[in-house]
Structure 1
Amino acid sequence: MRSILLLLFCIFARALAEELSAESQEVIDAVNSAHSTWQAGRNFHGSYKKNQVRRLLGLKKREGERVLPIQRYERSLKDIPDEFDARKEWSDCASSIGHIRDQSDCGSCWAVSAASVLTDRMCIASKAKFTAQLSARELMTCCSHCGDGCNGGYDDQAWKYFHHHGIVTGGDYGSHEGCQPYPLKPCEHHVNGSRISCPDMGNPHTPDCFPYCTNRKYKKPFRKDHHKTKESYQVESIVESIQQEILNNGPVQAGFTVYEDFLSYKTGVYQHVTGDMEGGHAVKIIGWGVENGTPYWLVSNSWNTDWGDHGFFKIRRGVDECGFESEISAGIPDLSNI
């Protein structure tokens, strides 16, 4: 009888947790009263529940052997600047590098950030001859071994897909740009905004995979629009190696563990202060710097520009904060099809 009651209690507790608001005022107050390196505030609608915000955290954790080779660099600090911003370094590609995508109410962060990184690298490597966005849609809908679309996926498998198959072009939802634009409408994750509330979208399913251009106005055939990498790899988990990779080739993709307090990030250099683990997330690193003595990575998120610092955030560098330096993926673009 006792075991049955315990089981019922656990089920009830879990159900209650799912119905709790995505953000806790207690967590926000704890961060701000701790006088940490960052400030917290409300980002999400009060109607946004924990189970709904976890849907945005679609990076699956890799179990077993790696699927990509490791890129290593000789340690050398003399050529690494104290501050770096890819938007300034490659100004002809700044509009691409600084573009904040919106994954909508879908756990496609793994696909959106990967496509964004390869987009930037194509622009940089081609000296801005290639400026189109690459399609997160094809990656999230057609890469069967990458995961399960809106229900999450693996960042390393995304880069393996780039190498063996490639992806077509595709802009944001409703942009009519490229072969396969993003299929899900932007939604408002946040407290204030003009978009439809994400909870009102009803948990959209992953769209079907189509072997043709969904944008009928696009003239280039689907089979001739694919862009690949010459090689794909993961960068060793050493700060200087990650910096060298960015200096050489452009932004990289990072996977990390999200805790409850991260959801309420506003400004400053994030480091975990309080709150439970919520899930895995994938983002794009575009640079680094030092703020009030704290080294940081400069990062682009995919929850539209109303979240955080206009869609960006900084996270503490050099201590593998939330596993941030342990899962870095990238690749060298193949420019033969531009």
Structure 2
Amino acid sequence: MRASILLVAAFVAVAAALPMQSHPTCRPPKNEWANGELVLSPRPHEYLNVEDLPDSFTWGNVNGVNYLSERRNQHGPESYCGSCWDVATTNAVSDRIAILRKNAYPPVVLSAQVVLNCGYGGSCGGGSASGVYEALNKYGLPDETCQAYAGDIAQACKDVNICETCGSSGCTAISNFTMYYVSEYGTVRGADKMKAEIFARGPISCGIDATAALEAYTGGVFSEFSVLPIINHEISVVGWGTNGSTSYWIVRNSWGSFYGEDGFFRIKMGGDNLAIETDCSWGVPTLTKPSTAAPKVAAPVPVPAPAAKTPAELGLYHDLSRPGVRIDRTASRQMNIVSPQPFEFLSVGDLPASFDWSNVNNTNYLPSPRNQHIPQYCGSCWAHATTSALSARYFIANNAQGIPFNLSPQILINCVTANQTQGCNGGDPLAAYAWIAVNGIHDDTGTWYEAKNLPCTDYYKCHTCEPSGKCNAVPNCLNFGVAQFGEIVGEAAMKAEIFARGPVAVTIAVTTDLINYTGGVFHDTTGAIGDDHSVMLTGWGVDNSGTPYWTIVNSWGTYWGETGAARIVRGVNNLGIESQGAQWATPRL
């Protein structure tokens, strides 16, 4: 009897020491590999001495350069999704791709939605990071401009749900997109081995016991004692540091930038850390298809190929009957200019022959590319060009420090109405900046791009969803503003503005040849000038034949043009690029 009482008392004591959990399980306590680890080269802990590693290190700042991909929020857009295993892993591999590519433009953010669509390791009900790494080795993944995150709105694993673009009449599978792979993968456990792996090859994905206290975290070095932590969540560990005598891990979560320390948390190293050091995974990215990848299955019966149609003939990228820019040029358009503009103090002779914010002293200042036409067609170029240019200017103002982000074009679609702006039916880029100047804007971890007109409410400005299925507005979203904004025309003024302060949004005409563009310096011969489309203008240059050009970044996905960008002949007002207006805004810091 006494033994029974002691046993019950011990059980109660242990139960009392267990952390209180409110987070549902979105990954199993242990990752299992279907066919074992795939290790082809020495692992870092086998050749690095942990004593030689620095006391502090993060891929968010390596000699002043950030290699981390943007923060994300798994819990939306309209319902809760337990995809931590997916988002944490694709983020970690995206970081490693940036390291592999030496942070070259464009930044690659792997599509977490393709993982859900194809069931590569799980679903919104939970899954395993191992399944993502195995799929990356066997099948590969595209970037997010092929398939945007939609959470539990998962589709069948077919071509159109792996990479698509949408026109006015529906969505079409894309074939000329880039796949990214991993050549090997495996497990790492223990602080010393984790540090070696992170230092040598990049961030890793790890399991953790997400307790109620961790969910309530707002800052500082977190620690929580647990007799028996049970892993139920996946995060990515991007580095480590010290705070006095306490060493800690630097961790990126997938609960939005409004969680913790701008989407991150720090947790004690070596104990009282909810099992974060017990089950981590890694993958080595490659830009070429590994020999272990699954071969393409040939059609059993030869079928004559239909005559190839151009994107314009297929109705892709741009509906010529539905301009994405709506500007009433007879109306008075609001501007707020309170300081001298660069063209007033910089002359053309002061500027270099070539300049682009995608590569300034080997540093890229541009955000990841976007696709305005998924999951359905939406004439929101005006919202994408303005938010992309302003996002870049924030990164420039911060000297490329911190984590890059994309401001939310969806908020502008929902809320801007000035000067004939009509959301997915087109809008005025200058009206977008005027709205931000008054209201501010959040990044897209609280307002996912859904390519449709939604109400302009607090909920649709920033929200997240709970395990119960209930979604709520978030009051503490990061808010970004505009200090001043205006519009300029002409090559000299545009070059001065870009060089001094950053990219601008610019209005151009769209022709069938531009829709079908695949590379080189584009030169329209039709004389088209009009308010059709808005793009981000990032710089200029001269090609090998001596032809001057502008560099634009479009919002039609990385499979269009030159990885989502194009060069347009400069100095002759091609497509109206130098006469229809370049809209600029400065960050409110």
Q: Does TM, normalized by the shorter one, top 0.5?
A: yes
* TM-score, normalising length: structure 1: 0.70
Structure 1 segment 51-200 matched on structure 2, within 5 A: 53-54=319-320, 57-64=323-330, 65-68=332-335, 71=341, 72-74=343-345, 76-89=347-360, 94=364, 97=366, 99-104=368-373, 105-127=377-399, 128-129=401-402, 131-145=404-418, 147-170=421-444, 178-184=445-451
Q: Which amino acid aligns with 2:465?
A: R
In 2: Cα distance, 1:42 partner to 1:228 partner: 44
Over residues 200-250 of structure 1, what are the superposed CA-to-partner deviations in whole Å (9 max), with x where a residue is unaligned?
Answer: xxxxx4233331323338999446532111111112x23222112111111
> In the alignment, what sits opposite 1:301?
554
Asked if structure 2 preserves the Cα contact closer than 8 Å seen for 1:56 and 1:108, the reply is no
> In the alignment, what sits opposite 1:209?
456
Structure 1 residues not aligned, in runs of 5+: 1-17, 20-40, 171-177, 185-204
**Residues 238 and 74 of structure 1: is their aligned pair in 2 closer, same or farther, counting only changes over 3 Å?**
farther
Asked if structure 1 preserves the Cα contact closer than 8 Å seen for 2:528 and 2:575, the reply is no
Per-residue deviation at 1:309?
1.7
The 10-residue stretch of structure 1 (223-232 or 245-254) with the greater mean CA deviation from structure 2 = 223-232
Q: Which has the higher contact order (CA 8 A, sep 6+)?
A: 1
Structure 1 segment 238-317 matched on structure 2, within 5 A: 238-274=490-526, 280-291=532-543, 292-317=545-570
Per-residue deviation at 1:263?
1.2
In 2: Cα distance, 1:334 partner to 1:277 partner: 33
Partner SS, residue 344 of structure 2:
coil
Per-residue deviation at 1:277?
7.4
Q: Which amino acid aligns with 2:583?
A: S
* Residue 225 in structure 1 maps to residue 443 in structure 2: no
In 2: Cα distance, 1:98 partner to 1:43 partner: 29
Asked if structure 1 preserves the Cα contact closer than 8 Å seen for 2:326 and 2:428, the reply is yes
In 2: Cα distance, 1:75 partner to 1:247 partner: 9
Partner SS, residue 519 of structure 2:
strand
Over residues 94-128 of structure 1, what are the superposed CA-to-partner deviations in whole Å (9 max), with x where a residue is unaligned?
Answer: 2x615220001100000011111111111111222
Asked if structure 2 preserves the Cα contact closer than 8 Å seen for 1:260 and 1:276, the reply is no
Identity %: 29
Over residues 155-189 of structure 1, what are the superposed CA-to-partner deviations in whole Å (9 max), with x where a residue is unaligned?
Answer: 1101111211111110xxxxxxx2212113xxxxx
Q: Which amino acid aligns with 2:480?
A: H
Structure 1 segment 310-329 matched on structure 2, within 5 A: 310-326=563-579, 327-329=581-583
In 1: Cα distance, 2:512 partner to 2:388 partner: 25
Q: Which has the larger radius of gyration?
A: 2
> In the alignment, what sits opposite 1:190?
none
Over residues 15-45 of structure 1, what are the superposed CA-to-partner deviations in whole Å (9 max), with x where a residue is unaligned?
Answer: xxx99xxxxxxxxxxxxxxxxxxxxx96527
The number of aligned residues is: 266
Name the structure with the higher helix share. 1
**Residues 330 and 42 of structure 1: is their aligned pair in 2 closer, same or farther, counting only changes over 3 Å?**
farther
Partner SS, residue 120 of structure 1:
helix
